[in-house]
Amino acid sequence: MSWDRLPHHDWFDKLVDMDPEEIGAFEAKTHLSSLLEQVRHGKRFVITKHGKRVAELKPVNATRGARRRGRLRGRIWMAADFDAPLEDFQEYTP
């Protein structure tokens, strides 16, 4: 089977395209909305200024839910003797 007959998959392109595309600061500013839409779909960009890399535009990791106090109540317990001296450390205690 030749390579040109294999089915094409977008996920493979994303896997192969690991290097972020470099884009100038002015162009990034001009096309920010378009860049953000591409970033939303997993694309990464390196923003340059005068040919030097200064920033990376990439998707944010999965967002965490808001912290809620007491959410783990009843799931975590502490032994009554959790702070008792350990036998292995007897020689180090006064």
pLDDT tens digits, residue range 41-70?
888 999 999 999 999 999 887 556 677 888
Q: Does residue 20 sit within a domain? A: yes
CATH code of 28's domain: 3.40.1620.10
Q: Does residue 51 sit within a domain? A: yes
Residue 88 has pLDDT above 60, yes or no: yes
Whole-number mean pLDDT of the chain?
A: 80
Confidence of residue 71 (pLDDT cuts 50, 70, 90): confident
The pLDDT value recorded for residue 33 is 93
Number of separate domains in the chain: 1
Please name which of 61, 57, 60 lies closest in space to residue 20, comparing C-alpha atoms.
57
Q: Which residue has the higher pLDDT, 27 or 16?
A: 27
Range of the domain at 20: 7-59
Q: Is 63 helix (H, G, I), strand (E, B) or coil?
A: coil
Q: Does residue 14 sit within a domain? A: yes
Query: How far is it, in rounded angstroms, from Cα 17 to Cα 2?
Result: 22
**pTM (2 decimals)?**
0.48
Q: Does residue 78 sit within a domain? A: no
User: 59: how many CB neighbours lie within 10 A of its CB?
Assistant: 13
